[in-house]
């Protein structure tokens, strides 16, 4: 009997990974604290916030890396130590 190897699972990013990366970017580039100023996220955190929001709306705990943008992949990768 020939057993076929299981197909490799497509790499995913979890909502926890996205949230952690957003927090890294917020710590690296904090928003100005002022009653007069709106909350402003840096470009990388904003890019990941879009992904995070989509995951929440779609009730996903993970998404395939192939389905996210290059900017989101870079922001995730650059948030790692």
Task: Print the domain residue range for 22.
Answer: 12-78
Residue 61 lies in a domain: yes
What mean pLDDT comes out for the span 17-36? 86
Number of domains in the chain: 1
Give the pTM.
0.80
Per-position b or e across 47-69, b if 16+ CB within 10 A of its CB: bbbebbeebeeeeeeebeeeebe
Per-residue confidence (pLDDT) for residue 41, from 0 to 100: 87
65 pLDDT above the threshold of 90:
yes
Per-residue confidence (pLDDT) for residue 2, from 0 to 100: 56
75 pLDDT above the threshold of 70:
yes
Residue 21 lies in a domain: yes
pLDDT by residue (tens digit) across 28-54? 987 776 667 677 889 999 999 999 999
Residue 3 lies in a domain: no
């Amino acid at each position: 009997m020939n057993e076929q190897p299981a197909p490799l699972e497509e790499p995913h990013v979890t909502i926890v990974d996205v949230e952690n990366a957003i927090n890294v970017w917020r710590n690296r580039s904090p928003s100005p604290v002022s009653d007069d100023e709106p909350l402003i996220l840096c470009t990388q955190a904003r890019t990941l916030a879009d992904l995070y929001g989509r995951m929440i709306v779609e009730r996903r705990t993970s998404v395939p890396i192939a389905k996210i943008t290059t900017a989101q992949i870079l922001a995730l990768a650059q948030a790692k130590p």
